[in-house]
Amino acid sequence: MTTETPVTLDRLDRAIVALFAGEPRIGVLEASRRLKVARGTVQARLDRLERTGVVTGWGPDISPEAIGYGVTAFVTIQIAQHSGREALTLRLEDIPEVLECWTITGSGDLWCRIVAHSNADLQRVIDLMVSEDRVVRSSTLIGLSEAIPYRTGPLVAAAAPTTA
């Protein structure tokens, strides 16, 4: 089930990722000093990490909550058999409050993460999403608290397949 050819990260790669994850504004030079390697090495590693798709971006992380979207919910949508999931996805893309969407196991099901200003506003967003014939059923779970905020640090640290 694994896709592509996985990249193997060595100790230095992981240290670089961890370092930049902790202090993103650090800069290549300072990183090389901390890690006690040549600046060119850090640069080369970062280039490789981006080229191989391990690092997909350096964009600012936005907190929806901070800009007024304090409610997070998870919506599972069941679609009428074989009806255009594509089309529905395109519609969902047009809804800004839909932050993420996966197709999942089950007959034509979609899973989405959405945000809203309030519980009342959540209703509006959900209505937007499911107001279509192809949507057979939908169920919503409201996120109460983020027990473990999204992270990849531990995963990277653990990604030591063969050697150290």
Partner DNA sequence: GACAGACTGGACAACCTGATCAGCGGGCGA
Partner DNA sequence: TCGCCCGCTGATCAGGTTGTCCAGTCTGTC
Q: Is 52 among the residues that bind DNA (CB under 7 A)? A: no
Residue 56 in contact with residue 115, Cβ under 8 Å? no
Task: Pick what 3 binds: DNA, its own copies, none; C-beta below 5 to 8 Å, kind-dependent.
Answer: its own copies
In whole angstroms, what is the distance from residue 26 CA to residue 155 CA? Answer: 22
Q: Is 71 among the residues that bind its own copies (CB under 8 A)? A: yes
Nearer to DNA, 142 or 160 (CB): 160
Binders of its own copies in range 81-110 (CB under 8 A):
85, 89, 92-93, 95-106, 109-110
Options 36, 127, 149, 164; binder of its own copies; rule CB under 8 A: 149
Locus of tokens 């060595």: 10
Task: Pick what 131 binds: its own copies, DNA, none; C-beta below 5 to 8 Å, kind-dependent.
Answer: none
Q: Which two tokens stand for residue 57?
A: 């971006």
Q: Is 147 among the residues that bind its own copies (CB under 8 A)? A: yes
Residue 117 burial (C-beta neighbours within 10 Å; 0-12, 13-18, 19+) = middle
Options 127, 161, 162, 164; binder of its own copies; rule CB under 8 A: 161
Q: Which two tokens stand for residue 137?
A: 């059923």
Residue 59: count other Cβ atoms within 10 Å of its Cβ: 6
Residue 110 in contact with residue 85, Cβ under 8 Å? yes
Smallest separation (angstroms) from DNA to the CB of 47: 8
**Assign residue 99 a region: left if phi > 0, alpha if psi is -120 to 50, beta otherwise?**
alpha
Contact string (CB under 7 A) for DNA, positions 13-42, x = contact: ------------x-xxxx-----xxxxxx-
Q: Which residues bind DNA (CB under 7 A)?
A: 12, 25, 27-30, 36-41, 43-45
